[in-house]
Chain A
Amino acid sequence: MQNSFDDIIEKLDNHEFWDFPGGVFPAERKTLSNQTPIEKLTIPERLYVTVKQHIGMEGQIIVDVGQKVLKGQALTKSMNPFAVPIHAPTSGEIAEIRKHVSAHPSGLPELTVEITSDQQDKWTTLYPLIDYQNQSKMQVLAAICDAGISGMGGAGFPTHIKSSPKKNVDFLIINGIECEPYITSDDRLMREHAWQIRQGIDVLYHLLKPKHVLIGIENNKPEAIEALQVACRENANYRVCIVPTKYPAGGEKQLIQVLTNREVPAEGLPVDVGVIMYNVGTCFAIADAIFSGKPLIERVVTVTGEAIENPSNVWALIGSPVAHLLAHCKYEQAGQKRPNIIMGGPMMGFSVTSDLVPVVKTTNCILAPTDNEIAGNNEQPCIRCSACADVCPASLLPQQLFWHSKAKELDKAQDYNLFDCIECGACAYVCPSEIPLVHYYRIAKSEIRVEQEDKQKSDKARDRFEKREARLIAEQQARDKKHRLAAQARKQAMASNGNNAKDKIAAALARAKAKKQNASIVDEKPIEPAEVAPANTSEQEAKTEASDVSTKAASSNQRVQAAIARAKAKKVATEAAVTATEQKVKVDTEDLIENKREVKQLDNDVTLVSEQPLKAKMKTQADVTDSRPADDVSPQHQEQFETDSKQTKITAAVAKAKAKRKAQKITITDDGAHPAPAAKVKSSQAKISVELEKTEEQHIDMKKRRIAVAVAKAKTKKAAEIAANSKEDKSS
């Protein structure tokens, strides 16, 4: 049974609080950075704005590379309620939209808009909503959403979703605890901007209509407490609660427990117990959005650690690379054996993989410790001391979770409520064996999540598979039925027409027979060899064409041709393996005929491009190589065709194919537009190019070459005729 509202107020009136189980007291180290006011940073030259910085969906990018943007201009938008837009943190130009190392423990690249700043810092037009109290809730929520505000305490939950609960809210809790060591960004923000935080609280109060507002601040921040007390003095419903310092009192569930003694159910939300909690930074951002129309484009980041010469808090633009912040605060990397930059605090943060990791909306601290400041990774076996169970703020059994997580017994880990772990790191902090316990939990959690996703996916696949099977069966049945009906109709028609139908069938059969006979006469020579003939050449063609396709952006027509050619080549190659050996003679004869045609065409080309001596020469070369073997064939044909012709013809065909290929390649190199195929040209081509140079030097005139072409053409023609004759002889 949860405490009633009145009981809670009564206890709070007495300045008494409840407690949460466990907790630890690590060294605070907050004075490193909380002594100086928040500093303004220079604008970095390049900003990396990650598209997704919150829990939920990412929006669609609405800017293009090269586009000029103004400070505060939206870069994404989406109709999805769980999408929060991002904004240009300064004015400049969109340099690139690509994947960039992310502010995530994995450092895996995520889609990022990169902006080169023009150092003008020129704002876009802003639309404040100062009379928010007269606006509808929807409009205020839309303004908060459009300002890109998501929870700035750590999780990054979209604020406009959180601010439209379906249940009544007893307590609006503002979280100013900041319990993690080193971090002072909320502390400085409260000290310096208490009034604006209160304005943000006012907006939330208007939206949520809670019975009471509790502002929780740890008692180690007296200046912040005083500032907020002053700021909230006028409103009796606002109460600043000075909470005892204990880690992790700033955890959402823990703070609710401290202030109200209500426990958020597992897998539940705070609103289930009538509580909603916001970080002070979020309140500040809400006030910015409503009263000045400014979107969330900068935040306070603590840059601290003993490796930093001037640890302090800075106003960092979202998207500033970590390196920019470190440079401002003078990071001394040289002295470190193991340079290590942590984003977040020492308890829950993660090491960044690159100093180009950008600041995101949830980045509250950049910690650069010295080698001695933070313990190394020196894991020892668990001694079952149960110190971890004593400090667990969620009353879990960390060692049981550890065993099961380590042994990959995910079911059992879940039985021990693994998902109630808030990953605060208290267990790992007290562990005498220095076991990185939280790490094991994180691995187990992510594995369970992946497994669940796989399960969902496989369920979907099963569903699709079964539906497809059903559809195929239905289609088959429909087809069968159609055929059956058609057959019945035919039978009926036959029965009714009687002899007439039989006559028709006989006539049809006779026609078919006659047709078949005709076909066999015309098609004495089998079709297959004709297909085999282009097998080799078409394969080559396909290959050259394919390489062309990959290098130049060929027209779609050519690509289709290439695909078809490949398909043909694939098909023919398999057929060829079977039939080629038997049919070679015939193939070669055909080849020769083709040769002739080829030569003619090449000849035409030569005359056409005669003003290009190089090309022309090449073609001639091709023709010569082409015709020479064919020429050799002629005498042998008359004498011993049966024995020798086969071999010579094969050489002729090969020579032809080679020549054609060379011709093609040379044409390409001559054009000079396609260097890639040229690079592939083999030694034979190199030889030819040498010849080419020679001939160029000699300056053989065009006429001579043309004569050579004509002679070659004639020879090939003759050879082809002879071949054709001999074929006729053979067939007769």
Chain B
Amino acid sequence: MTLSVAILTALLAIGLLALVFGVVLGFASVKFKVENDPLVEQIDQILPQTQCGQCGYPGCKPYAEAISNGDEINKCPPGGDVTIKKLADLMGVEPKSLDVAHGQEDIKKVAYIREDECIGCTKCIQACPVDAILGAAKQMHTVIVDECTGCDLCVDPCPVDCIDMLPVANSTSSWRWDIDAIPIKQIG
């Protein structure tokens, strides 16, 4: 008799506990739901956001998702070795050299429209992934240099080939100290 009562109490107690935890967990899963995969976000933070599509995916976010699903980390030429190294650290894999099938690391460039040759076809505007080209149909277009990621996507659609990719000029504010430029002086 007492045994059966004891078993019953135990079952009841455990059942109750299970119920309570179930409710708590169920509540938590709704309340603290994580919208996106945090790993994708982290990878996306590392990628250079040129949105150039050289990796074969339509933008940096899709490539980030692909990496989190096990794709190679060396498909991003604009990011270059620095990005690959960071991705390797994050994903816990060995860094690889850049996959040349997707392009080579290049100096930073921005698009420049030779404005007197532009016929105002708006094709480049449609191609620009970051809305960095300003213009309207049959009006001259121009590139907002500060917004341009140098993704190259506007060059091909141009029917009159009036878009150049120009290297970003080195200025005193972006200059990285050259080790040979100024040796520290010592007085003997």
Interface residues of chain A, those whose CB is within 8 Å of chain B, are 26-27, 29, 102, 104-106, 108, 110, 181, 342, 346-347, 349-351, 369, 372-377, 425, 428-429, 434, 436-440, 442-443, 446-447, 450, 453-454, 457-462, 464-469, 556, 559-560, 562-564, 566-567, 570-571
Contacts and interface: CB of A to CB of B under 8 A. Distances in A.
Residue of A346, A454, A462, A467 with most chain B CB atoms under a 10 A cut-off: A462
Contacts of A562: 117
B162 interface: yes
Contacts of B67: none
Given A351-B182, A375-B188, A567-B119, A443 B177 contact: yes
Contacts of B60: 462, 465
Nearest to B46: A458
Interface string B132-176: 100000000000000101000000000111100000001110111
User: What is the predominant secondary structure among interface residues of chain B facing chain A?
Assistant: loop
A376 B185 CA distance: 8
Contacts of A436: 179, 183-184
B37 interface: no
A347 B185 contact: yes
A346 B172 contact: no
B59 A465 contact: yes
Please name the 4 residue pairs, one residue from A and one from B, whose CB atoms are nearest each other, closest first.
A458-B49, A377-B183, A436-B184, A461-B49
Contacts of B149: 457-458, 461
Given A461-B51, A461-B147, A462-B60, A108 B185 contact: no
Nearest to A434: B186
A468 B131 contact: yes
A106 B169 CA distance: 13
A73 to B, nearest CB: 26
Contacts of B182: 105, 350-351, 439
B187 interface: yes
Interface of B: 44, 47-51, 59-61, 116-119, 129-132, 147, 149, 159-162, 170-172, 174-179, 181-188
Contacts of A465: 49, 51, 59-61, 129-130
Nearest to A451: B82
Given A108-B170, A559-B117, A566-B161, A375 B186 contact: yes
A346 B187 contact: yes
Residue of B59, B162, B178, B181 with most chain A CB atoms under a 10 A cut-off: B181
B27 to A, nearest CB: 31
Contacts of B147: 460-461, 464
Contacts of A108: 170-172, 175
Contacts of B119: 560, 563-564, 567
User: What is the predominant secondary structure among interface residues of chain A facing chain B?
Assistant: helix
Contacts of A446: 175-177
Nearest to A181: B187
A544 to B, nearest CB: 16
B50 A461 contact: yes
B185 A443 contact: no
B130 A468 contact: yes
A460 B146 CA distance: 10
B129 A468 contact: yes
A722 to B, nearest CB: 40
A565 to B, nearest CB: 9
A439 B183 contact: yes
Nearest to A108: B172
B144 to A, nearest CB: 10
A525 B160 CA distance: 30
B172 A102 contact: yes
B119 to A, nearest CB: 5
A439 B179 contact: yes
Contacts of B183: 376-377, 436, 439
A374 B49 contact: no
Contacts of B159: 567, 570-571
B168 to A, nearest CB: 11
A252 B42 CA distance: 40
B48 A454 contact: yes
A349 B177 contact: no
29 contacts: A102-B172, A106-B172, A106-B175, A110-B171, A349-B185, A369-B185, A373-B188, A374-B187, A428-B184, A429-B186, A436-B184, A439-B183, A439-B184, A440-B179, A447-B176, A458-B47, A461-B130, A461-B147, A462-B49, A464-B131, A465-B51, A465-B130, A468-B130, A556-B116, A566-B160, A566-B161, A567-B160, A570-B159, A570-B161
A425 B185 CA distance: 9
A105 B177 contact: yes
